[in-house]
């Protein structure tokens, strides 16, 4: 729970000694509240004040550990608010009356993997029905023999002691009630196990927890099972809501729901209840049995509900044989985004044709997104093929790639010369027909013929130096009068830096122009952006795996020689290409920008920028979107540290909070704005693809959204943005904000400047 600055200030020493580096205690407390500074920078907070602050900042719901399992620790009521943290676990119930051996044997049969997660029953719930310690201990032994963790439902102290003696350490003693809590607390504490608390109504449950906490035990779970399903839902919701919304930590514990008790003998109704309690707040669900028919939907639901909304669900990169495919069946390739996998594998199954589906690592992105981000490239595919040893596992040499990345065919063919690369359909739904009609066979034959022809003529090419490439592979630049000249840029200026985004390979005309080294379309877009007042131009040459260096050198020279050395941001997944571009770059109007590093696989871009005295855009994410500003700032600090240690100036790292799309992540917009403020408070520069916010919105709405956002961002301290400069409303807003920020002296015609 975040404290407000004023709450901290009330407890502060109010000395204004400045030892912490802040001018006043108030300023310091504000920074602490934002998480920008740690409280221990001030040595003068009293013990008492620290204790109060620590308990106020403690999580609202505790995380309780049993063996390797973690329960609770949730911070939100709904997954879209942030994410749910610790998935609910399952238990199967055994007691003296049932055939425990048979039940436990059945339970252990359900054990499988789904999207990288082991699906099995994590706990055995051992119910004590009488007051015979020896008999109960015998039953517990059987449960322990399964190797699963244990829940002892036992209200009898002697039976509990006997059970604990044989139950091991990974145990929840679900035994405290309003009547026996003192004795049970002693037993659980002595054994060092988690204590479960149950009461016949929620009010008594609350009081009992209070008493246990007063006695010093905060290692609890709450058995919220009531007399009916209706009462149990009320308990589960009220307990969670009281903890997280009313911020009453008395109910800040994980909960057990016993659906076996609620629907005794009706396994289908138990499935229904378990589905509800997966969404509504059970930490452990106790079932009478767990069959595959129950496990398949329930574990699937759980896996979905507990997926982090900001981290894509990924499937393992490997060969998935479909419809009994063997080594002689063709290969179809797609990315590891779980939805893509399910869609493609489902359609391939429907085709009835044997095919080996190869999933390649693409950071859980969909096909086109992964391609654009450089996460799906001929190199990543080659890597998958090598790591999985596919050439030796499969004899068939037909490789079907997604139609959406038909442009990669040539590059993949080059990296995997022994394969016959074929472009598959654009959409998964077209796969059944495509496979049934064996459309790929003819295409594979054609590819094979082409390969053979190529093999006959191929000569060994040695890698050329940048100078050699420049001399031999980069066409001479012809300077054309486009009727506009870049007016120059002072790198020391405080005015907002706009980076024009229009030269991007996702646009087919630009892609074609880059491929053919055709200057006209590129110059046209550059001229328009410069005329509209862009400070920098971004040059995205695509993944450019094959000829990246000569492409980038050509593009850099083309733009700078035509437009008075306009400063550029070099944007590609090919690091060699960026290096080559910088080699020919003219710094008159500012250093080149490397676009971009992140805190994950692209951290090396910082090294590249440092080695070449360039500015580097540093995206504050590692794998997917950062889950909150705490994570963003960790990434920020790590990248800053790396840059500084490599001798960069902090001014040359421009931090990107990652702008999020309103349609889909509306509730995260303020967080992005707060992140910008945090960069600014650290004295750091920032930038980002601001117009991403309005992706998917109608054309006439986008400039309005972008303008409003840029004004809010500039207020927060944003120093630059990657934008479409042809958006007049946006550019006028930026110019106006620069007036208010006193970066430019006002004159009546400031908009025309």
Partner 1 sequence: MSFEPKTAPFSGRVNAVTLGTGDNAIVIGGQNVLPFYTFDAPIENAPKIGVEVSDLAASWDVASLKEFYAGCTTMADYAKKAESIEGCDFICLNFVGADPNGANHSVADCVANAKAVAEVVSKPIVVMGCKNLEKDGELLAALAEALAGKNVLFMSAKNENYKTVGASVALANGQKLGAETADDINLAKQLNIMLKGLNVNPESVVMDIGTAAVGYGYEYAASTFDRIRLAALAQGDADLQMPILAAVCNDTWGVKESTASEADEPVWGDREERAISMEIATAVADLTGGADAVVLRHPESVATVKKFINELI
Q: List contacts with partner 1 (CB under 8 A).
A: 78-80, 109, 114, 202-203, 205-207, 228-230, 233-234, 237-238, 241-242, 245-246, 250, 266, 268-269, 271-276, 278-280, 291-294, 296-301, 303-305, 307, 309, 313, 338-339, 342, 346, 349, 663-664
Q: How far is the CB of 86 from partner 1 (least distance, A)?
A: 16
The β-bridge relationship of strands 117-120 and 111-114 is antiparallel
Q: What's the 3-state SS for 425-460?
A: CCCHHHHHHHHHCCHHHHHHHHHHHHHHHHHHHCCC
For partner 1, which is the closer residue by CB, 82 or 642? 82
Give whole-number Cα distances, 432 to 335, 358, 445, 521, 720, in Å: 19, 17, 21, 39, 48
At closest approach, how far in Å is the CB of 688 from partner 1? 22
Nearest distance from C-beta of residue 196 to partner 1, angstroms:
18
For 157-193, the DSSP string reads HHHHHHHHHHH-SSEEEEEE-TTTHHHHHHHHHHHT-
Compute the chain's Rg from CA coordinates: 31
Q: DSSP of 554-594, one letter per residue? A: HHHHHHHHHTTT--EEEE-S-HHHHHHHHHT---TT---EE
Residues 6+ apart with CB under 8 A from 51: none
Task: Identify which of residues 299 and 554 has a Cβ nearer to partner 1 in the complex.
Answer: 299
Q: Are 702 and 694 in contact (CB under 8 A)?
A: yes
Shortest reach from residue 241's CB to partner 1, in Å: 8
Residue 627: CB minimum distance to partner 1, A: 15
Structure tokens at 257: 């729901």
Which of 380, 398, 384, 382 lies closest to 325 in space, CA to CA?
398
Please, are residues 488 and 497 in contact by the beta-carbon 8 Å criterion? no
Q: Smallest distance from the beta carbon of 390 to partner 1, in angstroms? A: 24
Q: How far is the CB of 68 from partner 1 (least distance, A)?
A: 24
Q: Which residue's CB is nearer to partner 1, number 346 or number 491?
A: 346
Q: Which is nearer to partner 1, 405 or 665 (CB)?
A: 665
Q: 259 is written with which tokens?
A: 């659906």
**Closest to partner 1 by CB, 268 or 487:** 268
* Beta carbon of residue 300, minimum distance to partner 1 (angstroms, whole number): 2
Nearer to partner 1, 169 or 245 (CB): 245
Annotate 175-202 with b (16+ C-beta within 10 A) or e (fewer).
Answer: bbbbebbebbbebbbebebbbbbbbeeb
CA–CA dist 157, 438 (Å, integer): 70
Considering the complex, what minimum distance in angstroms separates the CB of residue 272 from partner 1? 4
Phi, psi of 469 (to 5 degrees): -60, -45
Q: How far is the CB of 20 from partner 1 (least distance, A)?
A: 39
Cβ distance to partner 1 smaller for residue 124 or 322: 322
Listed residue (172, 117, 119, 107) closest to 146, CA to CA:
107
Q: How far apart are CA 476 and CA 29, in angstroms?
A: 60
CA nearest neighbour of 661 among 387, 403, 369: 369
Q: Work out the widest C-alpha separation in the chain, in whole angstroms.
A: 98
Contact 505, 540 (CB under 8 A): yes
Could you write out the DSSP letters of every residue in 650-685? GGGEEEE-----HHHHGGGHHHHHHHHHHHHHTT-E
Choose between 110 and 510: whose C-beta lies nearer to partner 1.
110
Cα dihedral sign for 358, 364, 366, 372? negative
Token reading at 496: 């907002």
Q: Which letter, b or e, does each residue of 225-249 get, where b requires 16 or more Cβ atoms within 10 Å of its Cβ?
A: bbeebebbbebbebbbebbbeeeeb
Q: Which residue, 242 or 680, has its beta carbon nearer to partner 1?
A: 242
- The nearest distance, CB 149 to partner 1, in angstroms, is 24
Shortest distance, position 105 Cβ to partner 1, whole Å: 14
| Non-local CB neighbours of 365 within 8 Å, separated by 6+ positions | 312, 335, 337, 373, 375, 376
**Closest distance of CB 692 from partner 1, Å:** 15
CB of 201 to partner 1, least distance (A): 9
CB of 204 to partner 1, least distance (A): 9
Closest to partner 1 by CB, 268 or 393: 268
Terminal CA-to-CA distance of the chain, rounded, Å? 48
Nearest Cα neighbor of 66 from 193, 198, 161 is 193
- Cβ proximity to partner 1: between 310 and 498 the closer is 310
Q: Which is nearer to partner 1, 259 or 616 (CB)?
A: 259
Extract the runs of DSSP E, i.e. beta strands, from 591-643.
593-598, 615-619
In whole angstroms, the minimum distance from the beta carbon of 354 to partner 1 comes to 14
Q: Who's near 727: CB < 8 A, 6+ residues apart?
A: 691, 702, 703, 706
Contacts of 627-633 spanning 24+ positions with Cβ under 8 A: 627/82, 627/83, 627/308, 627/310, 627/311, 628/82, 628/671, 629/35, 629/671, 629/674, 629/675, 629/678, 630/35, 632/657, 632/675, 632/678, 633/35, 633/675, 633/678
Toward partner 1, which CB reaches closer, 310 or 687? 310
Work out how close the CB of 278 gets to partner 1 at its nearest, in angstroms, rounded to a whole number.
8
Give the residue with the Cβ less far from partner 1, 291 or 485.
Answer: 291
Pairing of strands 63-66, 497-503: unpaired
For residue 222, the minimal CB distance to partner 1 (Å) is 12
Beta carbon nearer to partner 1, 600 or 664: 664
Cβ atoms 299, 325 nearer than 8 A:
no
Instruction: Select from 595, 311, 577 the least CA-distant residue to 470.
Output: 577
Shorter beta-carbon distance to partner 1: residue 206 or 371 = 206
Comparing CB distances to partner 1, the nearer of 192 and 300 is 300
Would you say 44 or 292 has its CB closer to partner 1? 292
């Amino acid at each position: 729970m975040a404290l407000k600055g004023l709450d901290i200030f009330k407890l502060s020493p109010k000395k204004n000694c400045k030892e912490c580096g802040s001018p006043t205690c108030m300023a310091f407390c504000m920074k602490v509240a934002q998480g920008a500074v740690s409280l221990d920078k001030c040595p003068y907070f009293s013990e008492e004040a620290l204790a109060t602050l620590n308990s106020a900042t403690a999580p609202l719901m505790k995380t309780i550990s049993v063996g390797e399992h973690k329960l609770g620790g949730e911070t939100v009521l709904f997954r879209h608010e942030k994410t749910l943290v610790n998935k609910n676990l399952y238990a199967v119930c055994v007691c003296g009356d049932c055939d425990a051996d048979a039940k436990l044997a059945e339970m252990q049969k359900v054990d499988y993997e789904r999207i990288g997660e082991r699906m099995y029953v994590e706990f055995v719930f051992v119910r004590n029905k009488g007051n015979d310690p020896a008999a109960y201990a015998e039953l517990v032994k059987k449960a322990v023999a399964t190797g699963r963790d244990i829940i002892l439902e036992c209200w009898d102290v002697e039976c509990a002691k006997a059970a604990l003696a044989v139950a091991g350490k990974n145990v929840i003693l679900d035994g405290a009630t309003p009547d026996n809590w003192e004795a049970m607390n002693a037993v659980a504490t002595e054994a060092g196990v988690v204590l479960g608390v149950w009461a016949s109504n929620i009010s008594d449950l609350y009081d009992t927890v209070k008493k246990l906490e007063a006695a010093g035990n905060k290692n609890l779970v709450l058995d919220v099972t009531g007399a009916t399903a209706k009462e149990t839902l009320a308990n589960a919701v009220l307990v969670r809501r009281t903890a997280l919304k009313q911020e009453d930590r008395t109910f800040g514990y994980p909960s057990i729901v016993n659906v076996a008790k609620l629907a005794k003998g009706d396994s289908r109704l138990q499935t229904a209840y378990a589905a509800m309690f997966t969404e509504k707040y059970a930490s452990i669900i106790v079932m009478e049995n767990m069959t595959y028919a129950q496990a398949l939907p329930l574990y699937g639901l759980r896996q979905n509900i507990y997926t982090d909304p900001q981290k894509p669900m990924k499937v393992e990169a490997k060969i998935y044989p479909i419809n009994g495919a063997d080594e002689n069946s063709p290969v179809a390739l797609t990315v590891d985004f779980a939805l893509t996998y399910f869609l493609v594998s489902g359609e391939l199954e429907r085709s009835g044709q044997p095919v080996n589906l190869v999933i390649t690592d693409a950071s859980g992105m969909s096909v086109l997104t992964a391609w654009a981000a450089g996460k799906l490239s001929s190199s990543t595919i080659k890597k998958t093929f090598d790591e999985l040893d596919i050439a030796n596992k499969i004899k068939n040499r037909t490789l079907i790639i997604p139609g959406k990345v038909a442009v990669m065919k040539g590059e993949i063919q080059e990296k995997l010369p022994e394969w016959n690369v074929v472009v598959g359909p654009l959409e998964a739904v077209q796969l059944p027909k495509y496979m049934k009609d064996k459309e790929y066979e003819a295409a594979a034959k054609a590819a094979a013929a082409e390969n053979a022809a190529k093999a006959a003529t191929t000569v060994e090419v040695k890698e050329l130096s940048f100078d050699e490439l420049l001399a031999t592979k980069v066409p001479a630049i012809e300077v054309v009068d486009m009727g506009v000249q870049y007016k120059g840029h002072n790198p020391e200026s405080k005015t907002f830096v706009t980076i024009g985004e229009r030269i991007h390979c996702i646009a087919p005309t630009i892609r074609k122009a880059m491929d053919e080294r055709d200057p006209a379309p590129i110059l046209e877009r550059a001229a328009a952006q410069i005329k509209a007042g862009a400070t920098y131009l971004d040059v995205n040459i695509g993944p450019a795996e094959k000829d990246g260096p000569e492409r980038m050198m050509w593009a850099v020279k083309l733009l700078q020689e035509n437009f008075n050395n306009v400063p550029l941001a070099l944007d590609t997944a090919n690091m060699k290409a960026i290096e080559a571009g910088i080699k020919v770059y003219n710094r008159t109007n500012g250093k080149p920008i490397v676009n971009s590093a992140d805190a994950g696989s692209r951290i090396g871009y910082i090294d590249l920028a440092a080695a070449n005295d360039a500015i580097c855009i540093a995206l504050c994410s590692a794998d997917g979107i950062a889950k909150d500003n705490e994570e963003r700032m960790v990434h920020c600090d790590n990248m800053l540290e790396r840059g500084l240690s490599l001798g960069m100036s902090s001014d040359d790292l421009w931090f990107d909070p990652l702008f999020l799309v309103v349609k889909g992540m509306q509730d995260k917009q303020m967080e992005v704005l707060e992140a910008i403020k945090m960069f600014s408070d650290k004295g750091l520069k920032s930038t980002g693809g601001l117009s991403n916010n309005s992706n998917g919105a109608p054309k006439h709405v986008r400039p309005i959204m972008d303008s409003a956002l840029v004004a809010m961002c500039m207020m927060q301290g944003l120093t630059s943005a990657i934008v479409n400069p042809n958006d007049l409303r946006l550019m006028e807003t930026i110019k106006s904000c620069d007036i208010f920020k006193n970066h430019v002296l006002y004159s009546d015609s400031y908009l025309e400047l």
